[in-house]
Amino acid sequence: MGYIEGADRYQPRIMCLNDMVAKDARVRIIDRFVEVTDLATLGFSNTTPAHLGRASYSPECMVKLYMFGYEKGVRSSRKLEALCNTDIEVMWLLGELKPDFKTIADFRKDNIEAFVTLFGEFCRFLDEIGLFGKKVVAIDGTKVKASSSRKKHYSKKKLKKLIDYNREKIEEYFSELEETDEAELTEEVAAKVALHNKRMKDYEEMLDELERTGEDAISLTDQDARMMSMGNMGVGMAYNVQTAVDGKNHLVSEFSVITDAADQGQLADIAKKTLDTRGKPEDNDEGEVSTVFLADKGYYDGKDLARCEEFGIDAVVACQDKPTYKSRGEEFQVEHFAYDKGTDSYLCPQGAELTCRSKPTTKVRNYHNAKACRSCEHRDFCVPKNSNKRVLRRWPHNDALDRAQDKYAKQSELYKLRQQIVEHVFGTIKRTMDSGYLLLRTRRKAEGEMALVFTGYNLKRAHAILGFDKIMETLDTLALMRCKKRLSACLFSLIQR
């Protein structure tokens, strides 16, 4: 019994490229979607071929290549160039065109905003076929490594240290000169002094720039990237990608790329952006249905929650743990002091009323009752040792925090869905799609690259949920509808003439 033998590689044969690609391959969905999409309205350049000069590659060709590459986790322009020569599906997709890496890279650079609108267009298509429920949306942020060096990132503290270090080195050289009684610096030492002087001058200029702009740090490689904690990866240069994921099919409905490492203060913005682009869920028999946004305790911020209420955003946010003090008894922790909005006072566990002692215009108001504290038998377990009374502070947006805490307590079961909805999205894009780091620099380009990543992710999810036949049938219907609209517009213009 011998081995299974392959075909003769030197045997000439007649083969059709279409037969070499599976009938239900995902690449066919990409091809059809780009064909039925009007790239000119999305802002892509070169949608009309030039009459003079050398012929260029069509934007449809380049968009198809990028959608295929990012869905497969291949993002480098050089690797995409290699796929054009080795991958059967890419050969089929591009009609065996082979653009070089520079052409591929330039197209992405020149159409970075258009790729963001392409993500929105694909989400609209998914919305039309009912994949977005819009009833529950989970919001979270993840750190994506920037294409920037930590060594070329300078904070104010780091710059001051470097300035002092170079100044000390210069002083050392001159002190050595005095000890040896040499009249002038040697050529080698003079070069070192000049180098330290130049560095010190550059650091001082950067420090002055930070003082002028009010920024905390400056990066020479990527000016928008910031030093952030990246979990198990430690601290590095990164961007914070805020993501809204729909609860029905775990599709990314909206995102934004920010330079702030903290999630606090971001909930209202990303939630409002999601409602503006995706809209609200359809009404049912029970009446109007609102979108509920779920967010973890990183978004627990009074000012931001007040903005959510102002925008009419229904948000369920996990409450941060209130600080506990070991010197105080369990029953005298701050959460056991009940606030009464009618009387604007706190009621302590022993029944004493702590009234407001601050002016109405004061932002942070103080509440205490020194007389009750002096006569309380539990003062040793409640009042700080260096004070004669227990003081509670109330911030301007404490009312919004109290309402958020009540809402979280009532909808804690719904909140448990948050992690199931949003966390696996980050795992998929970072591991399966190899997109835990960025190739492009500056926040604007990082946003365009993340738009391609999330478009690829949504494509994977939609294909897994609906299957090939359903998506292709919907795309064909969409193409027919748009063809009828264009035909009607042409007929109307002819009648007007």
Q: How far is CA 45 from CA 51, 111, 115, 361, 437, in A?
A: 15, 7, 11, 55, 27
Cα–Cα distance for residue pair 181/177, rounded to 1 Å? 6
Beta pairing partners, 255: 243
Pick from 244, 263, 265, 258: which is nearest to 397 by CA? 265
Beta pairing partners, 353: 347
Cα–Cα distance for residue pair 246/250, rounded to 1 Å? 5
pLDDT of residue 70: 94
Torsion (CA) 415, 457, 445, 436 in degrees, nearest 10: 80
Cα–Cα distance for residue pair 42/33, rounded to 1 Å? 14
User: Strand pairing of 292-295 and 136-145?
Assistant: parallel
Three-state DSSP class for residue 264? coil
Q: Tens digit of pLDDT per residue, the chain (497 long)? A: 679 888 888 888 888 888 899 999 999 999 999 998 889 999 998 777 777 777 788 999 999 999 999 999 999 999 999 999 999 999 999 999 999 999 999 999 999 999 999 999 999 999 988 899 889 999 999 999 999 888 888 888 889 899 989 888 888 887 876 666 555 667 777 788 888 888 889 888 888 888 888 888 888 888 888 888 877 777 888 999 999 999 999 999 999 999 988 888 899 999 999 999 888 887 554 555 688 999 998 898 888 998 998 898 899 998 876 655 655 666 777 777 888 887 888 888 888 888 888 887 777 888 888 888 888 877 777 887 778 888 888 877 888 888 888 888 888 889 999 999 999 999 999 999 999 999 999 999 999 999 999 999 999 999 999 999 988 888 888 777 766 666 565 655 656 65
Give Dmax (Cα) for the chain.
103
What lies within 8 Å, CB to CB, of 471 at 6+ separation is 29, 129, 462, 463
Pick from 16, 95, 20, 17: which is nearest to 61 by CA? 95
306 token code pair: 């007040």
∠ Cα 90 94 97 (to 5°): 105
Helix 443-466 vs helix 26-36: crossing angle, to nearest 10: 120
Cα–Cα distance for residue pair 256/141, rounded to 1 Å? 9
What lies within 8 Å, CB to CB, of 316 at 6+ separation is 292, 293, 294, 295, 407, 408, 411, 414, 415
Which uninterrupted H or E stretch holds 162?
helix 156-179
Cα–Cα distance for residue pair 241/254, rounded to 1 Å? 11
Cα–Cα distance for residue pair 41/441, rounded to 1 Å? 26
| Contact status, residue 231 vs residue 143, Cβ threshold 8 Å | yes
Q: How far is CA 298 from CA 256, 267, 287, 303, in A?
A: 17, 10, 32, 13
| Contact status, residue 58 vs residue 35, Cβ threshold 8 Å | no
What lies within 8 Å, CB to CB, of 110 at 6+ separation is 45
Please classify residue 291 by burial: count the beta carbons closer than 10 Å to its beta carbon, then call 0-12 exposed, 13-18 middle and 19+ buried.
buried
Cα–Cα distance for residue pair 406/419, rounded to 1 Å? 20
Cα–Cα distance for residue pair 155/148, rounded to 1 Å? 15
| Contact status, residue 354 vs residue 337, Cβ threshold 8 Å | yes
Matching residue, tokens 């986790």? 73
